[in-house]
Amino acid sequence: MDADTVASGMIYGSGGARTTVAIVDDHPVVLEGVRSWLAADPRLEVVATGDNVDAVLAAGPTDVILLDLRLHGRMAIDKVSELSAAGQRVVVYSEHHEPSTILAVLDAGAVAFLAKHEGRDHCVETVLAAAADRPYVPPSLAGAMVGDRRSSRPALSDKEREALLLWFQSMSKASVAKRMQISEHTVKQYVDRARIKYARAGRPAATKSALLARAIEDGLIRPEEIVTYRSYASTDRPLP
């Protein structure tokens, strides 16, 4: 189960201030476990933890909030919308990884979704990518995107869809690259481009705009590609 260590080593490890993270979870054991995962990485600093979003944020600003979706028996999707609209980067993690839940979380403006069982590496990489306003697509998120049948779904190219599907199946970008006979870098590009298309769909949120802006800066998409869909049925051309 390899995470995307290649890109992370090159992009995120370039020195500077450490990324600050707050963790919100109502299970002390999970909270402690995730805290120890993140704290073990020198690029990350856990600044606050707790079982209540407002209390945790009151402790001060933070680059990324890692939010357990189900808090005290309630799904906190409205909280995700509220925070994302205000520009707070939210990474949602949950044991509820039904596609409908994941897509609702993306629509609400969360930067990423992570299934609780996806493990340490994905968790660290997701938080780091989120802090840089870059997409990170763990396999559970890829599965939700590839199975999306809503009429409002963004139009993915065949290559993007195939990359998502194979990534969801194998959880190994190296294996996907071999299968598709392209480089790992290109696999990641297809997957990330698919994710960025989701940032263009649904309600606008400050976090979505930040993802889009960074994607343009990184050359992942062209500015002229960012248009409101006139027709969801129209096919989208991949980058050459």
Partner 1 sequence: MSAERLRVAGAAVAATTDRGGRIAAVAIAFGWHFAVNVPGIAGGWGEYRVPWAAAAGWVLFVVVGVLATARLFYGFAVPVFPLLGVLLIVDVLVIAITPDDQIFNTLNWAWGTIGWFALLLLYDRGVGALVAVLVANAVFGLVGVVAASTEASGAADLSRFVMYIYGTGVLPIALVAAMGVLRETALSTAASEAARAALESERLGAAHAQQERQDRLGIVSEAAGALLHDLATGRADPADLDVQRACALAAAQLRRLIAESDDVPDPLLHELRACVDVAERQGVPVDLIAVGELPELDVAIRRRLAEPLAATLATARDWARVTVVAQPDEVVVSLTTPATAGPAKESHSWPMDGVVDYWYERDEELVWTQTRWRAA
Decide whether 97 or 159 has the Cβ nearer to partner 1.
97
Single residue of 47, 50, 85, 175 touching partner 1 by CB under 8 A: 175
Q: Please list every residue from 86 through 115 that binds partner 1, using CB under 8 A.
A: 95-99
Decide whether 66 or 103 has the Cβ nearer to partner 1.
103
Stretch that binds partner 1, among 42-50, 71-79, 171-179, 180-188 (CB under 8 A): 171-179
117 near partner 1 (CB under 8 A): yes
Positive or negative torsion for Cα 190, 192, 195, 199: negative
Alpha carbons 216 and 212: distance in angstroms, whole number: 6
* Residue among 195, 207, 101, 113 nearest 154 (CA): 195
Single residue of 20, 157, 170, 209 touching partner 1 by CB under 8 A: 170
Q: CA torsion angle for 207, 103, 123, 97 (degrees, to 10)? A: 160
Q: Burial, 95: exposed, middle or buried (Cβ in 10 Å; 0-12, 13-18, 19+)? A: exposed
179 near partner 1 (CB under 8 A): yes
How many residues line the site for partner 1 (CB under 8 A)? 22
Q: State both tokens at 57.
A: 């944020």
Task: Look at the chain and count its residues.
Answer: 240
33 near partner 1 (CB under 8 A): no
Q: Please list every residue from 202 through 231 that binds partner 1, using CB under 8 A.
A: none
138 near partner 1 (CB under 8 A): no
Decide whether 225 or 236 has the Cβ nearer to partner 1.
236
Alpha carbons 190 and 75: distance in angstroms, whole number: 31
Contact yes or no for 135/221 (Cβ under 8 A): no
Q: Nearest-5° angle of CA 222, CA 154, CA 235?
A: 70
Single residue of 143, 173, 189, 195 touching partner 1 by CB under 8 A: 143
149 near partner 1 (CB under 8 A): yes
Decide whether 68 or 133 has the Cβ nearer to partner 1.
68
| Footprint of partner 1 (CB under 8 A) | 95-99, 117, 140, 143-144, 146-147, 149, 165, 168-172, 174-175, 178-179
